């Protein structure tokens, strides 16, 4: 915004998270007296080369700063069949700054796209009088915006110190949007957003599983926008602080952590809405339970409270099958921790759209908190489990259908469908039963 006059946007009314389509008018169409908005519906007379011409590049120029970006397109495999091109509007997709022979920075690309002055599709132009070239529909497609929620206590907040891993790139990831609960705004995925339960000294260096999770999701869905909304409070109880209303008798009106989490989500969702971003909810990750393992009452209320939290998250996002992935609390020196761990496993195992992650092999640097390298591992495991749930169980190839194609896909790349931490014959049996059921 603003867009040039020769790009007409129209949002299809029947799309929940809409694609936005447009026709881009070329100067040649204007000279020929054609309506620029009809390029997708009519042939455009075009002076072309012999052999027939093809599109060679796309250029975008901004209204300020003097920058223009150009991306070269490969010649088609054949000149006698329609050729389609998909051009990614990202700085690392092959663009160069015109006149500078270098790729644009992420900041330059964002700045230019916020003030677009022209979009040009460049083609051959030498003439053969009897030739006609048709420019098919040109669509400006917004990426799928995938929103993930993250919540819990200190191990979700993040007691890991990036200075312990000098060889790891912790630079801000501008391609991933992350909600900062302290600034109440979105920014790049980066360290420094942990609460004070761990990060009392040098807080800008601390992180939780969101780093590994976000980077993994970005690799799984490179053409999409990943958004993470995280809210944490260290040293807190699920049944007494995180529980939603009407779940247990000790907090019938909901716990204080839940109320603050709810309010934080409202702010984040409003920020996305006010920016005009269409988005979808693709999952929630949760790590909590150490505090409740220290108390018999808390641990006894854990299972029903966790069920209530999952139900509320799905109701709040209007996604009744929202994937929910939890890290099973590590074995710590708490008398009732096994009660909490069993409740976590029981809840996840009984829910086709939930999964628990084993963390027993992840070292605790102080007997309670997950170490730096292992926080990245935890996030990656949570991302893989969430991804496996996102197409919904048994739709292995994510084409919206459960059929024999999913069997082929599973044999090519086995995945853990029953959330027992292993991709094996039990998962194949589950998949075969689902295919027969269809």
**pLDDT tens sequence across 134-178:** 677 787 777 899 999 999 999 999 999 999 999 999 999 988 999
What is the rounded radius of gyration, in angstroms, for the C-alpha atoms of the chain?
Answer: 26
CA gap 230, 215 in Å, rounded: 15
If pLDDT is split at 50, 70 and 90, which confidence band does 245 have? very high
pLDDT higher than 90, residue 378? yes
Determine whether 172 is exposed, middle or buried from the number of CB atoms within 10 Å of its CB (0-12, 13-18, 19+).
Answer: middle
Task: Pick from 20-24, 201-205, 375-379, 399-403 the range whose average pLDDT is largest.
Answer: 375-379
Place of tokens 């088609």: 76
pLDDT attached to residue 130: 63
When the pLDDT of each residue in the chain is averaged and rounded to a whole number, the result is: 83
Determine whether 247 is exposed, middle or buried from the number of CB atoms within 10 Å of its CB (0-12, 13-18, 19+).
Answer: buried
Q: Count H helices, E strands: the chain?
A: 11, 13
CA gap 187, 193 in Å, rounded: 11
Residues 182-208, mean pLDDT to the nearest whole number: 89
pLDDT higher than 60, residue 21? no
The residues facing 119 across adjacent strands are 60
Place of tokens 């907090």: 251
pLDDT attached to residue 32: 35
CA gap 113, 360 in Å, rounded: 46
Residues 333-362, mean pLDDT to the nearest whole number: 95
**pLDDT tens sequence across 289-326:** 999 999 999 999 999 999 999 999 999 999 999 999 99
Q: Output DSSP code: residue 36.
A: G
If pLDDT is split at 50, 70 and 90, which confidence band does 36 have? very low
- Which of 125 and 287 is assigned the larger pLDDT? 287
If pLDDT is split at 50, 70 and 90, which confidence band does 91 have? confident
pTM of this structure? 0.76
Q: Output DSSP code: residue 365.
A: T
Among 77-91, 236-250, 403-417, name the one with the lowest average pLDDT: 77-91
| CA-to-CA dists, residue 286 to 230, 237, 326, angstroms | 10, 13, 5
Q: Output DSSP code: residue 54.
A: -
> Which one, of 213, 195, 187, 301, lies nearest residue 257 by Cα?
195
**pLDDT tens sequence across 217-235:** 999 888 789 999 999 999 9
Which positions ≥6 away from 146 have C-beta within 8 Å? Answer: 217, 221, 224, 225, 226, 227, 279, 280, 282
* Chain centre distance of CA 37: 33
CA gap 335, 351 in Å, rounded: 27
| CA-to-CA dists, residue 37 to 89, 135, 137, 249, angstroms | 22, 12, 10, 61
Angle CA 69–75–78, to nearest 5:
150
Q: Does residue 208 contact residue 180 with C-beta atoms inside 8 Å?
A: no
pLDDT attached to residue 22: 30
Pairing of strands 173-180, 225-232: parallel
Place of tokens 């040649």: 28
pLDDT attached to residue 355: 94
Q: Does residue 44 contact residue 34 with C-beta atoms inside 8 Å?
A: yes
> Which one, of 191, 189, 231, lies nearest residue 207 by Cα?
191
Which positions ≥6 away from 28 have C-beta within 8 Å? Answer: 44, 46, 47
CA gap 408, 415 in Å, rounded: 12
CA gap 426, 251 in Å, rounded: 40
């Amino acid at each position: 915004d603003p867009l040039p006059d020769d790009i007409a946007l129209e949002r299809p009314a029947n799309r929940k998270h809409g694609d936005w389509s447009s026709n881009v008018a070329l100067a040649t169409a204007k000279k020929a007296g054609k309506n620029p908005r009809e390029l997708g519906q009519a042939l455009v007379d075009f002076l072309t080369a012999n052999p027939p011409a093809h599109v060679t590049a796309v250029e975008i120029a901004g209204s300020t700063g003097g920058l223009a970006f150009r991306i070269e397109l490969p010649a088609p495999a054949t000149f006698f069949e329609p050729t389609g091109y998909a051009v990614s509007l990202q700085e690392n997709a092959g663009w160069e700054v015109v006149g500078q022979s270098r790729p644009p920075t992420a900041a330059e690309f964002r700045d230019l796209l916020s003030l677009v002055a022209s979009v040009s599709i460049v083609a051959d132009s030498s003439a053969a009088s009897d030739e006609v070239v048709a420019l098919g529909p040109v669509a400006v497609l917004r990426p799928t915006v995938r929103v993930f929620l993250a919540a819990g206590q200190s191990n979700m907040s993040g007691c890991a110190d990036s200075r312990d891993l000098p060889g790891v790139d912790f630079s801000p990831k501008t391609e991933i949007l992350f909600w900062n609960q302290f600034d109440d705004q979105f920014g790049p995925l980066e360290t420094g957003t942990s609460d004070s339960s761990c990060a009392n000294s040098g807080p800008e260096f601390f992180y939780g599983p969101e780093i590994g999770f976000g980077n993994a999701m970005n690799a799984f869905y490179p053409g999409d926008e990943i958004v993470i909304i995280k809210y944490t409070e260290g040293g807190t109880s699920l049944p007494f602080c995180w529980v939603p209303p009407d779940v247990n008798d000790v907090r019938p009106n909901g716990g204080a952590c839940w109320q603050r989490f709810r309010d934080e989500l409202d702010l984040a969702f409003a920020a996305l809405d006010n920016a005009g971003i269409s988005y979808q909810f693709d999952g929630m990750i949760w790590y909590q339970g150490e505090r409740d393992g220290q108390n018999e009452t808390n641990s006894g209320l854990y299972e029903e409270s966790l069920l209530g939290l999952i139900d509320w998250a799905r109701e709040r996002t209007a996604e009744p099958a929202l994937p929910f992935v939890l890290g099973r609390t590590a074995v710590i020196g708490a008398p009732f921790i096994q009660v909490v761990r069993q409740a976590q496993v029981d809840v996840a195992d009984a829910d086709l759209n939930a999964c628990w992650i084993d963390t027993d092999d992840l070292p605790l640097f102080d007997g309670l908190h997950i170490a730096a390298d292992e926080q990245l591992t935890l996030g990656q495991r949570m991302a893989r489990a969430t991804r496996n749930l996102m197409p919904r169980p048994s739709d292995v190839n994510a084409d919206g259908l459960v059929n024999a194609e999913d069997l082929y896909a599973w044999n090519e790349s086995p995945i853990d469908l029953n959330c027992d931490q292993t991709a094996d014959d039990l998962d194949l049996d589950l998949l075969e039963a689902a295919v027969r059921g269809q």
